[in-house]
Structure 1
Amino acid sequence: MSEGTMQRAAEREQPVRRDQREQRVKGLHRFLVCAAVVPVMLIATGCSSDSGSDDGAGDGAQTSASVSASASPSPTVQAAVYKSLPQPCKVLSKETLEDLVPKAKSGKEGSSDDASTRGSCSWSSLDNNGVKGSQFRWLNVSLLRFDSDVTRGSGDKLAREHYETQVQDARSVSGAKNVKSEPVAGVGDEATAVRYDLKKKEGSFKQETVVARVENVVVMLDYNGAGLAGEKTPSADTLNKLAQKAAKEAVAAVTKANGSGGGSAGTPSSTPSKSASKTPSKSPSADASKAASGSPSPSASKKS
């Protein structure tokens, strides 16, 4: 092949080679551009995924906190209305005591570990007529106040429960005969009078018990009488009327001791007030230990 022919062949090959190089350069450029784009997309996707994960965790934590807060609300209870009790031996007027226990000189106050939650007072009277016999009377007033407690309930609720228990106890005294009970109007929020006959060695006793509730306080009045050494038995109706009168007066004394408003009813409390941890003892019936002569001393026919 001549030199001229080889030169012309080489010149024809040069454009072809340039085109091939340019194509390879363009291909490499596209590869590099694509390679650069992939990490950017991965980074963008990763950031988007992380952001969503964080938001979900935050929402979950907030939801959990909300559920916990709603699952354990602060305990509340209706506050007790009455905060104190009157002196038990001063709940009845002198005139009332003269009607019920005319020969009583003074009342005997019962022991109490907390005078603001419980108290009692008793009076005994013996009208000795010598050979004509004697009239014996015995009177006891007991007071119990309930404070509100978040675990046990409001003072009003606890007082209602105790009131019902005391009424039932009065109706079921061992040895009682001719038991009768009736509601008493105008005495506190609710009141019940229970009467019965009780035979003792000293004579036949007529028992009158009035249980009353005013707000968170329960008042229990026991009154009985007997004719001794041949004296006639007192009238049950008369004793009942006197007992109801005295119970109404005792309830009024509780209200007065706490002021006309009685207290702060309707105020919720998140902490329990001090509650009466003991239930009051049952008021005893009278028991004349001596018959016609001497002064009879009352003893409990119910547990005190």
Structure 2
Amino acid sequence: MQRSAPRLTRILAAAAVPVMLVVAGCSSDSGSGGGDAAGDSGAARGEATASASATPSPKPTPTVEPAKYAKLPTACKAIAAKTSAALVPKAKSPNGTAAASSDLSHRAGCSWNGLEDKGVKGSQYRWLDVSFYRYDSEVSLGSGQARAQENFAKEVGKIQATTGAKTLSTAAAPGIGDEAKLVTYTVNKTDEDFPYASVVARTGNVVVVLSYNGAGYAGAPVPRAKTIVEGATQAAKEAVASVVAANK
């Protein structure tokens, strides 16, 4: 029994060593965990700074050139009364007949027509009409001026495509708005030749389309093409001027 005491002491001492190693190992893991937490905090601060510096600056608001004109003239007053009376003698409605429109600020028109009976010399028929188209500036569509330019070309094309038109000719019409075209042609209707003169003009963001034509009946001579062109040109100048006057 005296010999067993020292042996028991050695066994207990040896058994205690692994326990100390386990405790030390746990202490080391705890220290390592603390280091990772500090690293994560620094990384988070770095990411936040990078995110803040990468925030895009606000994009500028798109703009478009303002439309030049905000109004259209009263179509039946756009051509002077003395001019319409001279071009269309004996008009059914001397003050003109307004075209139907759901929005007179963007589209308007007026027409005059009449038959002048000259007895044994026959009768002279005349027709005059004018239309106005105004275009607003819109970011998605472009400026009013650019839109008017595009539709100016379209209106000229429509007239050039007139069914049955003969001897059709297109020329510039200087001195009428910012740009203008004169389209002349002849159409045979009711067994008579009708000489036509159409003027398409643009002033700013407004397109003006004017047409003047006529015919001779019961032996009356066909109107001279020059007379029709001169009448259409005069009326077109007055119509364009009325757009400017309506916006003063």
Structure 1 length-normalised TM? 0.67
Identity of aligned residues (%): 41
Partner residue, 1:162 = 151
Quick check: 2:81–2:95 contact (8 Å CA) kept in 1?
Answer: no
Partner residue, 2:87 = 100
Structure-2 separation of matches of 1:228 and 1:151 = 52
- RMSD (Å), alpha carbons: 2.3
Partner residue, 1:254 = 243
Quick check: 2:125–2:214 contact (8 Å CA) kept in 1?
Answer: yes
Alignment pair present for 1:120 and 2:103 = no
Q: Bigger CA drift: 155-164 or 75-84? A: 75-84
Structure-2 separation of matches of 1:88 and 1:127 = 24
Structure-1 separation of matches of 2:211 and 2:183 = 10
| 1:86 CA displacement | 0.7
Unaligned runs of 5+ in 1: 1-34, 260-304
Quick check: 1:80–1:156 contact (8 Å CA) kept in 2?
Answer: yes
Partner residue, 2:49 = 58
Structure-2 separation of matches of 1:231 and 1:94 = 26
Alignment pair present for 1:91 and 2:78 = yes
| 1:204 CA displacement | 0.8
Alignment pair present for 1:143 and 2:148 = no
Q: Give, as a single letter, the amino acid of the residue that structure 1 aligns with 2:98.
A: E
| 1:96 CA displacement | 1.4
**Which residues of 2 match residues 152-231 of structure 1 at below 5 A?**
152-231=141-220
1:125-158 deviation digits (Å, cap 9, x = unpaired):
2210123211111000000111122222211111
Structure-2 separation of matches of 1:80 and 1:154 = 6
Q: Give, as a single letter, the amino acid of the residue that structure 1 aligns with 2:213.
A: N
Aligned length: 220
1:226 is paired with a residue of what secondary structure?
strand
2:56 is paired with a residue of what secondary structure?
helix
Larger Rg: 1
| 1:230 CA displacement | 0.8
Partner residue, 1:272 = none
Partner residue, 1:75 = 62
